[in-house]
């Protein structure tokens, strides 16, 4: 195998979010300061936090409505819509798509449909699994290759990306469709509300007054290919997925290890696998959920990796702009990182009253230059499941 057989590039992207449909809508929305949470139009939300960053009604996909005997909710439909965007963007032929494995990070899957059935009829009828999204996407695009659904809670998208990276590097596939898709679920919102980890106002990571996270829905998808495969078909590339790493705190079912040792290790190993040093990174997309302990611990870990450069290293606090999209969060961050590399700038974050315990730079308002062509993305989850990966400007940029 040559170096181009093991180098992995991104050739297609797609997104459906509170900012609209398509990667262009995502980018323009980020430059404009992100979206706003709205009340969830669902009765019987007997909880303190009842708002989300919802996909606008005009952007809700109508199809597919069912898969085999399973009636589908918004989550799988978001996934299909974003997948079709990414495939069209990559310029993949129907023959190529038939051999395209699908790897997705999904946490709540089709739960919204089951909740609607129970609310309407007092039952959900014939039993169906929640995690149908990846299978639905594979069937909708016409793939006959392997299909994987990763359920590592809110870091699932990061694990999905790095699993696909390893598949290509190991010669198991020349191209892989990777994504995440989530929709509103009462169980998801209620769980965080009961934990006291839901902010009733908005998602405001690193803010002095933050009270927890706030969810968003939608889907993000990317096409990964070996650089050799992309070159053979004359594909243009957005960026390179240069490396990634996993770690586990094994500290607590929900809370992070206060030392931050394992997330520090994860970032360091992702950089090492990418052949980069901390000083090569131009931007970080943190996990940054807005929960009090998580933001402080991640800030300390960033300080451990980047030192005093944290005073000058811009963070793109994506969840403050589109909400916490759960299993899809890391893939949304991947798309946002790719767009930052393409445009050479980092969108300004919504205004916050920054917590002094979070000693990181969160530029607000206007975009700032991306001074070095590498982006680090972090994704963490309950159970201490951590993933980090690195994007670089590589290949024949668009």
Tell me the CA distances in angstroms from 98 to 87, 112, 136, 146, 314, one per residue in order: 12, 29, 14, 10, 40
This prediction has a pTM of 0.96
pLDDT in tens, 268-322: 999 999 999 999 999 999 999 999 999 999 999 999 999 999 999 999 999 999 9
Task: Please report the pLDDT score of residue 124 as a whole number.
Answer: 67
Helix (H) or strand (E) holding 385: strand 385-392
Give CA–CA dist 82/204, Å, rounded: 26
Span of 59-63, 103-107, 194-198 with lowest mean pLDDT: 194-198
Q: What is the DSSP string of 48-85?
A: S--EEBPPPGGG------EETTEE--HHHHHHHHHHHH
Give CA–CA dist 175/184, Å, rounded: 31
152-181 core/surface letters (b: 16 or more CB in 10 A; e: else): bbbbbbbbbbbbbbebbbeeebbbbbbbbb
Task: Please report the pLDDT score of residue 72 as a whole number.
Answer: 94
Task: Please report the pLDDT score of residue 42 as a whole number.
Answer: 86
What is the mean pLDDT of the segment spanning 246-264? 91
Task: Please report the pLDDT score of residue 396 as a whole number.
Answer: 52
Which residues, 6+ apart, have CB-to-CB distance to 133 below 8 Å?
75, 76, 79, 104, 106, 109, 110, 149, 181
Q: What is the DSSP string of 312-336?
A: TSBB--THHHH-B-GGGHHHHHHHH
- State the CB neighbour count (10 A cutoff) for residue 291: 26
Helix (H) or strand (E) holding 380: strand 374-381
Give CA–CA dist 72/231, Å, rounded: 37
Helices (H) and strands (E) in the chain, counts: 13, 16
pLDDT in tens, 165-180: 999 999 999 999 999 9
Helix (H) or strand (E) holding 367: none
Domains, the chain: 8-232 (3.40.47.10), 243-392 (3.40.47.10)
Q: Is there a contact between 109 and 184 (Cβ–Cβ < 8 Å)?
A: no
User: With pLDDT > 70 as the criterion, what percentage of the chain qualifies?
Assistant: 97
The SS3 of residue 121 is helix
Which residues, 6+ apart, have CB-to-CB distance to 201 below 8 Å?
37, 51, 211, 214
Confidence of residue 395 (pLDDT cuts 50, 70, 90): low
Task: Please report the pLDDT score of residue 209 as a whole number.
Answer: 97
What is the mean pLDDT of the segment spanning 371-390? 96
pLDDT in tens, 30-70: 999 999 999 999 887 889 999 999 999 999 999 999 998 88
Q: Is there a contact between 134 and 148 (Cβ–Cβ < 8 Å)?
A: yes
């Amino acid at each position: 195998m040559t170096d181009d057989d093991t180098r992995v590039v991104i050739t297609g992207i797609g997104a459906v979010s509170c900012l609209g449909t398509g990667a262009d809508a995502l980018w323009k929305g980020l430059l404009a300061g992100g979206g706003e949470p709205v009340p969830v139009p669902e009765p019987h939300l007997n909880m303190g936090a009842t708002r989300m960053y919802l996909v606008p009604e005009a952007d809700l996909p109508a199809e597919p409505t069912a898969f085999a005997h399973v009636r589908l909710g918004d989550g799988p439909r978001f996934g299909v819509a974003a997948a079709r965007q990414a495939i069209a963007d990559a310029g993949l032929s129907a023959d190529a798509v038939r051999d395209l494995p699908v790897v997705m990070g999904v946490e709540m899957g089709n739960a919204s449909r089951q909740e609607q059935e129970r609310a309407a009829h007092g039952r959900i009828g014939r039993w169906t699994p929640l995690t149908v999204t990846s299978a639905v996407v594979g069937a909708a695009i016409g793939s006959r290759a392997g299909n994987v659904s990763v359920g590592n809670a809110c870091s699932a998208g990061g694990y999905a990306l790095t699993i696909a990276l390893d598949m290509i590097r190991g010669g198991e596939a020349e191209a892989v469709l990777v994504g995440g898709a989530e929709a509103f679920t009462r169980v998801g919102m209620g769980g965080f509300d009961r934990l006291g980890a839901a902010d009733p106002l908005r998602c405001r990571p690193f803010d002095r007054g933050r009270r927890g996270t706030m969810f968003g829905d939608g889907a993000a998808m990317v096409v990964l290919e070996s650089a050799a495969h992309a070159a053979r078909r004359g594909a243009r590339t957005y960026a390179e997925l240069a490396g990634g790493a996993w770690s586990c705190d094994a500290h607590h079912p929900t809370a992070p290890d206060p030392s931050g040792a394992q997330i520090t290790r994860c970032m360091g190993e992702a950089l090492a696998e990418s052949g980069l040093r901390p000083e090569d990174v131009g931007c970080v997309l943190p996990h940054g959920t807005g929960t009090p302990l998580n933001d402080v611990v991640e800030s300390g870990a960033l300080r451990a990796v980047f030192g005093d450069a944290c005073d000058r290293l811009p963070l793109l606090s994506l969840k403050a702009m589109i909400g916490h999209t759960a299993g899809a969060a890391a893939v949304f961050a991947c798309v946002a990182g790719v767009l930052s590399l393409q445009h050479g700038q980092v969108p300004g974050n919504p205004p916050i009253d920054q917590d002094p315990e979070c000693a990181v730079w969160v530029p607000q308002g206007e975009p700032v230059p991306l001074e070095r062509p590498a982006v680090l993305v972090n994704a963490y989850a309950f159970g201490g499941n951590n993933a980090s990966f690195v994007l670089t400007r590589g290949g024949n940029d668009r």
